[in-house]
Structure 1
Amino acid sequence: MVALSAAVAFLAASCASADGPAEPSSSAGQSAVAAGVANEALVERAEPLVKRVSYPTRGQADPAQNWGDLYLPAGQHAAGSVPLVVLIHGGSWESQLGAEVMSSYARDLVDRGMAVYNIEYRRVGSGGGWPTTFHDVADALDHVVELNEQHPEFAIDDELVVGHSAGAQLAMWAGTRHALGDDEVGNRPRFRPTRVVSLAGPLDMRYAATHGDSRIVTVLGGGPEQVPDRYRSVDPIQNIDPNVPVVAVHGTADTMVAPANSERYIAAVKQSGGIGGLMLAEGEDHVSVVSDDSPWYARILDVIAETSDKTVDDLRDTHSN
């Protein structure tokens, strides 16, 4: 088991020997410039703000599912001064579970001074599946640019996405969409999170699909031999970006998504010279890692905060000092 401090230390140490992330997309960069111009204007808020926002989608949207909850912290904030965390819930890409799974994390992270965007999307059984689920997540992420124009106090140039279970796969995919080809779902992102935290994620989708995980086969419309292009496009272990810092958290008692998924993924990240850390939560199962009554809950919050609160350069400087 890698303890919290060791996981964060590994992330910092890895940053010291790897190149930083690529420059943000032009839209994100332009928003950052605009935020800099408005830097003298402070946003002051007595209480955290929570509001539901709809995001536009390609084709016809479903107002009941194409939305996100935006959380903004209390206090006084200059433009571009608040780190953003995007949350993507899991539930096997199916409709039984929704964004409420991540609400505890959202509330506790905003209380720590972060902006949080907790997204909902269409899933298998409610109009989703391939490719709609992936289009929705891409559209929800790209809407961050418009949200930032309304709320310039949060930054979007070097930010974090956190996902649980199926949402962890989507989070890892979100961090590497910039490398997708023109014919791939989710390409040309307007907003690019540049560091990722995976909670119990199926990060080696071919391995999981061939070891009994029928849910992956359902959402992608076939197994690795039937739809190999889809696996190549969205499977985290086949799309590692060595410059994107990642932390994988996995419960040792997880029988739904085997810890081997995270272990294999982080081993591949290290082999590629990438920036990554693994935290195995002793005794935790697939659901308990997102339960606020778990003994690991506060530690996982710390991992998210540490990964979000520092830029890659800050982590490099901290390690060198």
Structure 2
Amino acid sequence: MDTTRTRINRHRFKAMGAIACSVTLLAACTSGSEPETESSASSGDPSSVSTQPTVSENVEADADIVADRDEPEKTRVQYPTEGEGDPNQNWGDLYLPAGQHKEDSIPLVVLIHGGSWASQLGAEVMNTYAEDLVDRGMAVYNIEYRRVDSGGGWPTTFSDVASALDYVVDLNEKHPEFTIDDELVVGHSAGAQLAMWAGTRHSLSQDEVGNDPKFRPKRVVSLAGPLDMIYAAQHGDDRIVKVLGGTPEEIPDRYESVDPIQNIDPSIPVVAIHGTNDTMVSPENSMRYIDAVEEADGIGDLVMADGDDHVSLVSGDSRHYQKILDIITDASGKTIDELDDLYSN
């Protein structure tokens, strides 16, 4: 198989097996290696997804245990910001799974909430995802940031998200059980734009907001994201104009710096999930973005959730919710077999 290019699969939520296979393939392609086969899984290759330690393996090596919790743990942490911050908004909730864990044995998922980059909605929107993902054995970092009408907007919203992400390195010093070398960031709506931007900050120049990241997510899942910001702004999305402080014609440099479709990194696996009934952020955003990924010979997947709208896509009541959790779980580097081992212990 040609590892320099992976065909982009367009599908709807139907057979879970097909979805799991597709996202696992993305995980295998992250390092540019051949997708895992039965023989490579047992070869001892450290880049192979199946070699990631499970809880049962951790228990056998008591001397290497760095964390032991009877229940999942949630801690609110404050991250430092550029200039004077706001302790009521510059924070993140860190969720750590129950069990005994060795160093670098737990995958980390960073969650970035949406809400039109505005103050009406906060990180609580992603709490259900955080709680269910930590129950699946992952570490989860659900971040809050300053938004429009609460001290945010350009450039503060973006520098806050960058600061929150960079603080992962400090958190890892306190909690060495979770990994930070090949991690996943998941965002909804405006948070999906921020998530895609977070994955490409390493390409920013020194005069751009968020440059020189200390922590770099290398996989991204977008939930209903405005991934083509110029297209969205030119089709009536004044929320983008408000957060960036102008139209694409007025401030093209800002759009160029943070617009996901203008900053595609072909080496970063991405999954764009969008509800077919979304009238707030048109599914065309995800379609156009994945088309651009394909043109760049990138690694991507477009998933259309039949019947979901913009809000229901992040609701635990969505009929697709468990399948989205499976996509996030697989994209984090865990296989279905590893999850079975985790649950059985």
TM-score between the two structures when normalised by the length of structure 2: 0.82
Aligned to 2:255: 231
Equivalent of residue 105 in structure 2, options 67, 75, 81: 81
CA distance in 2, matches of 1:56, 1:18: 30
1:6 aligns with 2:18: yes
Could you say if the C-alpha distance between residues 8 and 248 of structure 1 is closer, same or farther in structure 2, counting changes exceeding 3 Å? farther
Query: Is this contact kept in 1: 2:221–2:271, CA < 8 A?
Result: yes
Secondary structure at the counterpart of residue 133 of structure 1: helix
Gaps of 5+ in 1: 22-37, 312-321
Secondary structure at the counterpart of residue 237 of structure 1: helix
Aligned-pair Cα RMSD in Å = 1.9
Aligned to 1:62: 86
Equivalent of residue 264 in structure 1, options 272, 288, 294: 288
For residues 1-321 of structure 1, the aligned pairs below 5 Å read 1-3=11-13, 4-13=16-25, 20=32, 40-310=64-334
Q: Is the radius of gyration larger for structure 1 or structure 2?
A: 2
Could you say if the C-alpha distance between residues 229 and 48 of structure 1 is closer, same or farther in structure 2, counting changes exceeding 3 Å? same
Query: Is this contact kept in 2: 1:7–1:247, CA < 8 A?
Result: no
Shift of residue 10, structure 1, vs aligned partner: 3.6
Shift of residue 270, structure 1, vs aligned partner: 1.1
TM-score between the two structures when normalised by the length of structure 1: 0.88
Q: Which amino acid aligns with 1:147?
A: L
Q: Which amino acid aligns with 2:307?
A: G
CA distance in 1, matches of 2:175, 2:291: 39
1:36-72 alpha-carbon deviations (Å, 9 max, x no partner): xx98243111001101000000100100000000000
Query: Is this contact kept in 1: 2:275–2:305, CA < 8 A?
Result: yes
Could you say if the C-alpha distance between residues 39 and 8 of structure 1 is closer, same or farther in structure 2, counting changes exceeding 3 Å? farther
Could you say if the C-alpha distance between residues 14 and 89 of structure 1 is closer, same or farther in structure 2, counting changes exceeding 3 Å? closer
CA distance in 2, matches of 1:18, 1:150: 27
Aligned length: 296
Identical counterparts, % of pairs? 69
Q: Which amino acid aligns with 2:206?
A: D
Shift of residue 271, structure 1, vs aligned partner: 1.2
Secondary structure at the counterpart of residue 12 of structure 2: coil
